[in-house]
Amino acid sequence: MARRRAAGVALLAFCVMSDWPRPGFVQSSRSQSRSPGGAARRAVGLEFLREPLEAYAAARVADSPFLAEAPEAALHWGHAAAMASVYPQLLFGAFLGWQIRTGKGEETTPLSLGLSSKTLHPLLSLGAFLFFLIGGQGGLVLLTAQKQTILDSPHAVTALLGLSLLAVQAALPLFFQSRELRSVHAFLGSSIVLLMILHAGFGVLLGLSF
């Protein structure tokens, strides 16, 4: 059952991405509404987020005059460089989760700083979630500063999907009385890691597209 649910998450991500236009160019609102990408956004319920997120990003850009003087490379790839640092944390946190699942939760590893897997796993996972949340806001601001649209790329959608699933993942331990939910947590966590790797790949494609 847990494997089926994890596979369902991966299938949802694939279905959303498979009908997307290439990122990086600005479309008119009419062409967006007619495009497969616009239909896919509506299907996953993201279009209602566009106006508040655009307003938030525009306000941040207006309040950050240094963005106008920042080197082009920093604007273009700064988000990618910053977010790359969180992936080792995400991967190691997932590894520690499987250590716990296989009965090694009280053990330490050479990279655990003396903390047991059971202690370090939730700390790393929460840290990764917060870092992705904060970094995602930065990505919106930098895209807006470069006169690009938001929510029109698979990178944006995988970001929102990943953050939503990370929030669900963080809540699941509250219900660990159920053995089945422990399994869901384990396989969902691995699915999220794969999703976020896919997200990073889409980010590189987005950066290369403009």
CA angle (139, 199, 46) in 5-degree steps: 70
Tell me, yes or no, whether 22 lies in a domain. Answer: no
Tell me, yes or no, whether 127 lies in a domain. Answer: yes
Helix axes 154-171, 2-18, angle to 10 degrees: 160
Residue 176's pLDDT is what? Answer: 87
pTM of the full structure: 0.77
- Give the C-alpha separation, 40 to 42, whole Å: 5
Range of the domain at 170: 2-16+32-208
Q: Read off the tokens for 106.
A: 């009280």
Residue 44's pLDDT is what? Answer: 55
Tell me, yes or no, whether 134 lies in a domain. Answer: yes
Residue 109's pLDDT is what? Answer: 93
**Range list of H helices, the chain:** 2-18, 29-34, 36-43, 47-62, 66-69, 72-84, 87-101, 117-145, 154-171, 179-208
Residue 62's pLDDT is what? Answer: 92
Tell me, yes or no, whether 25 lies in a domain. Answer: no
Residue 41's pLDDT is what? Answer: 53
Tell me, yes or no, whether 157 lies in a domain. Answer: yes
The residues of the chain scoring below 70 in pLDDT are 1-45
- Give the C-alpha separation, 164 to 14, whole Å: 16
Which CATH number characterizes residue 138's domain? 1.20.120
Instruction: List pLDDT tens digits, range 40-49.
Output: 455 456 788 8
> What is the domain count for the chain?
1
Q: Read off the tokens for 12.
A: 């949802």
Tell me, yes or no, whether 146 lies in a domain. Answer: yes
Tell me, yes or no, whether 90 lies in a domain. Answer: yes
